[in-house]
A and B are shown apart, each in its own frame.
Chain A
């Protein structure tokens, strides 16, 4: 996998076929496609309720070339637990339809609503129990499927339909929940952040996640043209800026001798080496209509400044963890 080139990756089978009904410029399919390029063999995918589910499976059509199941919103991790348990039991018994597979990549996709909010309990339970599966958080920072409502993953000051930028309240008043820290605190073997602007990094980390023995967690930043209010052709540009501004640093965290060991990934390593290359968060914010009220009708230096401070603090914390 380490020597996989982009050209070779392109030749690997597509787990998710074109022809689905996700929006133009949607980053969810890019992430799902890249992650599933790294599967080792037999795979079962489960998706929480959300855009990825509704837009890839309207009966009688399906975009999935791997076995796939959706049941509900809050339980992707619990579904995955059951699938993994079924495989383990069949392996132990030496009979049953999954008994013959030496590896089974069990992959759960869920959005920010299904992870930070309604699905956090099921996720925490599955992590604690140590099921061998990979959970992919496709974080577009709001409930996009129901029409852009705020979630625990929505950043401070973002305007959503339930945290609108009003005359008194300038968008969401709370900060983004540190979900990766919460997952890492469970003591799981592998956690990484991923960004579709760096496909090789996504695929390498996905393979690491599949190979990890126990639960692995991939946190993807997933810009949403509709919800973030930018032109659909700018998805990768916005996504890239999330990392270049350190709003969404790329790193991985492995459990070594019981301790979490952090390591920055390429684009974030470059910023750590050359701090002057870190772009101001304003560049990222001003591309997105959901932050428009920070710039118009008048510039809100107070809010932009607060966000920059938050970004700087979180970046500093990561640097300290990397050591």
Chain B
């Protein structure tokens, strides 16, 4: 393991700093709160000559991702960052980036999607992109942001994967909150990410690396109709499944250099838990605090933090929940008209085919940055204990912290 330096970094700075260490070829980005610090810090690294990166200060998020796509197709490492409406404006291009199999890395400082316009955190932005073919990693703190923004390159560029990666960090709660972050040296990071490698494909001019190569020209992004489109979608579907194999490989290597490794999910006090909560992002720090409180009071509470949302680690979730009889799901996004929030729907689907399954209830919270306090989480656990007692779920979806 390498020597590490403790730095005070907020989530945005952690993303910018690790990206500086990676030294990608192209960063194309447009400012939007609460992601702005990422592009500001990165611009400073460029201005001070600390990176070789070509910084493209684009005129919109649509062009940010379009430029990253052009750059990545030309063989570059390309990074961008956005939030909320910026991601919504990119929406068209998110699908195109993944279908072109370009391992772009994008940090999302999660922010509520307009309207009404709001700058604070929830997951409505990245949940809107959950079907776009990007790997999605949700971070709980700045350390995770730092580590994920390094691992993401190796995950996305893994020969079995070749997909873009979103690193999601909660706006303000993480993006603007300074925390202690253990950082590796530039050399260690650069050795870890190495050089971008390309897969070899069969093009109309013969075998070539998957990039715009003047010597063996490829045609990328052709018209693809009824006779081939479906097969190409199958390749994307399979690549997502392969990511479930690639991520632990990369994670194990990262553990060797950093001493830190992250599974798909992080269980806490689950072994004998009678009630448990699962969720994404910074709220899970609050949940851990409440679990500890409840444990000291004799309540067998537990939690599972989901780090990976796409691909969804179904098997690991089932295994981790095990015999736990009641599972609450914390969703920080609404899906209007749906049976529940996005994470709830995934979790329920996963357990449908299991013989042993917990009672499952959804708790939608924190929309538009509404604070989710330890007291509210206690309330959620109380609801779970009630379900445990009654052995039924009286209310499938509850809304936490909202006025009646």
Interface residues of A (CB under 8 A from B): 41-44, 46, 53-54, 57-62, 64-72, 74-75, 77-83, 85-90, 92-93, 95-98, 101, 104, 121-122, 124-126, 128-129
Contact = CB atoms under 8 A, between A and B. Distances in A.
B69 to A, nearest CB: 5
B218 interface: yes
Contacts of A72: 66, 92-93, 96
B337 interface: no
Given A58-B222, A64-B219, A79 B100 contact: no
Contacts of A65: 205, 217
Nearest to B216: A67
Contacts of B96: 71-72
B25 A75 contact: no
Given A85-B26, A86-B76, A59 B70 contact: no
B70 A42 contact: no
The 8 closest A-B pairs by CB, nearest first: A82-B70, A125-B59, A57-B222, A82-B67, A78-B66, A86-B76, A78-B63, A82-B71
Interface stretch (B50-58, B243-251, B283-291, B375-383): B50-58
From DSSP, what is the main secondary structure of chain B's interface residues? loop
Using C-beta atoms within 8 Å of the partner chain, give the interface range for chain B.
35 or more
A151 to B, nearest CB: 19
19 contacts: A58-B222, A62-B204, A64-B217, A67-B218, A67-B220, A69-B70, A71-B93, A72-B96, A78-B63, A78-B67, A79-B73, A81-B58, A83-B71, A86-B76, A89-B26, A89-B71, A98-B74, A125-B59, A129-B58
A80 B195 CA distance: 23
Contacts of A93: 25, 52
A230 to B, nearest CB: 27
Interface string B66-98: 111111111110100000000000001100100
Contacts of B196: 96
Contact of B62 (A46, A54, A75, A86): A75
B104 to A, nearest CB: 10
Interface string B33-54: 0000000000000000000111
A190 B53 CA distance: 27
B67 A54 contact: no
B52 A89 contact: yes
A78 B28 CA distance: 10
Interface stretch (B12-20, B115-123, B206-214, B323-331): B206-214
Interface string B123-148: 00000000000000000000000000
Contacts of A41: 214
Contacts of A78: 58, 62-63, 66-67, 70
A67 B212 contact: yes
A61 B204 contact: yes
A72 B220 CA distance: 12
B219 A122 contact: no
B234 interface: no
Contacts of A97: 74-75, 198, 209, 211, 213
B259 interface: no
Contacts of A46: 70
B338 to A, nearest CB: 29
B195 A95 contact: yes
A72 to B, nearest CB: 6
B213 A67 contact: yes
B217 to A, nearest CB: 4
Nearest to A80: B70
A124 to B, nearest CB: 7
B60 interface: yes
A74 B59 CA distance: 13
Contacts of A61: 204
Q: Which of A60, A61, A86, A129 has the most CB of B within 10 A?
A: A86
B286 to A, nearest CB: 40
Contacts of B222: 53, 57-59, 62, 70
B6 interface: no
Given A72-B93, A88-B54, A44 B63 contact: no
Contacts of B195: 95
B225 interface: yes
B228 A59 contact: yes
B26 A69 contact: no
A82 B213 contact: no
B68 A82 contact: yes
Nearest to B215: A42
A92 B74 CA distance: 15
A68 B28 contact: no
B223 interface: yes
B68 to A, nearest CB: 6
B221 interface: yes
A57 B223 contact: yes
Nearest to A17: B204
B297 interface: no
Contacts of A129: 56-58
A86 B70 contact: yes
B74 to A, nearest CB: 4
Contacts of B211: 97
B59 A122 contact: yes
B26 to A, nearest CB: 5
A128 B63 CA distance: 13
A85 B73 CA distance: 12
B354 interface: no
B224 interface: yes
B56 A59 contact: no
A35 to B, nearest CB: 17
A79 B70 contact: yes
Contacts of B58: 78, 81, 125, 129
A238 B76 CA distance: 44
Given A67-B217, A125-B60, A60 B67 contact: no
Contact of B54 (A44, A54, A86): A86
Contacts of B218: 67-68
A67 B52 contact: no
Contacts of B100: 69, 71
B59 A124 contact: yes
Interface in B218-264: 218-225, 228
A14 to B, nearest CB: 12
Nearest to B69: A71
